[in-house]
Chain A
């Protein structure tokens, strides 16, 4: 099956620990994205990548880091510098970087930090 996978679905961490969320796609898409969603709110863009080895900050990049070493993978690290890391994290991909194509979303990872 083609699609976007995120794992795990639920993740629990202690405050002060870094944690990496995985995102893999086998759709051969060039562009990939990370969003954060808080309860009752819309999605906010954290980072995005148009091609391998390149990525840009989104609206709320502080406290997060990413890498794009392979086309199919775009992991997100939530660092201890992120003040409110508990949230629902969504990864998406898009066929090209033209901006016209729709985005395909993964099932999300719900991170809880205590």
Chain B
């Protein structure tokens, strides 16, 4: 799986949009971009994933650049409960041997300020 680079930490004011960047310049054509988050001392939670088109669900939006070398996760109206570590993961959708695990880096610690 391609390597990702994320800022170590970010702050955002409550009620504002939180924009979390991720660089994945070595991504290949069959690799998806996934985002998970982990609230302190809990298991990670899936947020969203995409291949090349922008995606939106009830939690967030995912914007992937045209060259697919970077992406941005957008939380449109951040709340205090969105304070967490956010992981950007690049993953091949299918491998011949079946699904192995996700590769987690250190992620971005997003702190929502009241």
Hey, which bits of chain A sit against chain B, CB under 8 A? 4, 31, 33, 35, 40-45, 48, 50, 56, 58-59, 88, 90, 92, 94, 96-108, 110
Contacts and interface: CB of A to CB of B under 8 A. Distances in A.
Nearest to A104: B46
A70 B39 CA distance: 30
B104 A31 contact: no
Given A58-B101, A101-B99, A102-B34, 19 more contacts: A4-B43, A31-B98, A41-B106, A42-B87, A42-B105, A42-B106, A43-B44, A43-B102, A44-B104, A45-B102, A56-B97, A56-B100, A59-B101, A90-B44, A92-B44, A98-B94, A102-B46, A107-B42, A107-B43
Nearest to A108: B43
Q: Report the interface size class on chain B.
A: 20 to 34
Contacts, number: 75
B73 to A, nearest CB: 15
B99 A98 contact: yes
